Structure 1
Amino acid sequence: MKIIFIDGYNVINSWPTLKKIKDFSYESARQQLIDTLQNYASFNLCKVVVVFDAHKVGGNMEKRDEFEYITVIFTKDGETADAYIEKTVNNIGKKVEVVVVTSDWLEQQTIFQRGAVRMSSIEFYHEVIKVEAKIRKNTEKSSIGNKNLLEDSLDKNILEKLEKIRRSH
């Protein structure tokens, strides 16, 4: 299964929709990103690890929340998201397909040297937009196909009588 590592604050500060939200609340922007990534990951059947810096939060211990397709990590005090991602990707090695999403150029180079595919935050944003459009299209198709028609719930004899009435007028 492909694993996508995401530098959470880098993405929040790069995506136009999240930038607007973070101006009011970083918590809301984080939650919107997590919700978006959950949809993306479940649609693509991949694992997403989103890492948020907490290196400037004194005494902070690493916090990890696991969901079906997504893991949310707040780094420990003194550890950046970049450092966490580099260490984890290095430990995984080349055993699985790894993509790292960040617009930090130095981080992209380091990750590339460790065998991971790199993707900028804006490139990933456009990929997520395409996936959201596919999800909407699939949802619309399934809702159109599941219409509840009156004729589906009526007895055949009643349908025939109604058809006779309709034709006589």
Structure 2
Amino acid sequence: MVKAEDWRDILLVDGYNMIGAWGELKQLSQANLEEARDQLLDMLADYQAYSGRRVVVIFDAYRVPGLGVSYKQREIQVYFTKEKETADECIERLVRELRHRRRQIYVATSDLIEQHVIFAQGALRISARELKLVIAQAKREVESQIKERAQKPLKRNPLEDKLSLDVLLKLERMRRGNQEDSK
């Protein structure tokens, strides 16, 4: 269950809508749907870590008998809807439940009717294409930051930056065994 009080901004994602709209995942889903879901969840987990937005992914299990399932995978909350509940209905319910005056809810779907419904409830929409672009940009920025940090020389002792020169000299003398100079 999503704990609404823990997060300021929340991104609700129609999982199968993203898989169907993203070429590489669509192709993968034809051979292995579970692998396509896992790849989507991996990308969204990385995006959640980067953006600070809580990501919740909803998969439609409309024709699957049962009460629905909710679990966490890589810190992403995953919902499989209950029998006779569509992903759109679940998303609309979550928008109502999670709405708060200091929280922005985003819904990622390319379903035009769903976009209008959630917009009327106060959520903002992100198309599948837009979400893919945002995730790709976030990935590039993370890779750039990693590359930048790798190029910086490692500091032998970060404490050196925090101490004054006279204290550093005294410590160096102590290290070398000149105890009388350190007094």
TM-score with structure 2 length normalisation?
Answer: 0.75
Question: Which amino acid letter does the alignment assign opposite residue 89 of structure 1?
Answer: V
Residues 46 and 69 of structure 1 are in contact (CA less than 8 Å); yes or no, is this contact kept in structure 2?
A: no
CA distance in 1, matches of 2:130, 2:104: 18
- Count of aligned positions: 148
Classify 1:146/1:63 alpha carbon distance in 2 versus 1 (closer, same or farther; 3 Å): farther
Bigger shift: residues 45-54 or 61-70: 61-70
Q: Determine the structure 2 residue equivalent to 1:109.
A: 116
Identity among equivalent positions (%) equals 33
State the 1:94 CA deviation: 4.0
State the 1:20 CA deviation: 1.8
3-state secondary structure, aligned to 1:108: helix
TM-score with structure 1 length normalisation?
Answer: 0.81
| Aligned pairs (5 A) from 1:141-156 | 141-145=148-152
| Aligned pairs (5 A) from 1:75-154 | 75-95=81-101, 96-145=103-152
Residues 45 and 69 of structure 1 are in contact (CA less than 8 Å); yes or no, is this contact kept in structure 2?
A: no
Q: After TM superposition, which residue ranges in structure 1, 4 or more long, deviate above 4 angstroms?
A: none
Classify 1:26/1:146 alpha carbon distance in 2 versus 1 (closer, same or farther; 3 Å): farther
CA distance in 2, matches of 1:22, 1:85: 22
Runs of at least 5 residues in structure 2 that lack an aligned partner in the other structure: 1-7, 156-183
CA-based RMSD:
1.9
CA distance in 1, matches of 2:73, 2:32: 23
Q: Determine the structure 1 residue equivalent to 2:181.
A: none
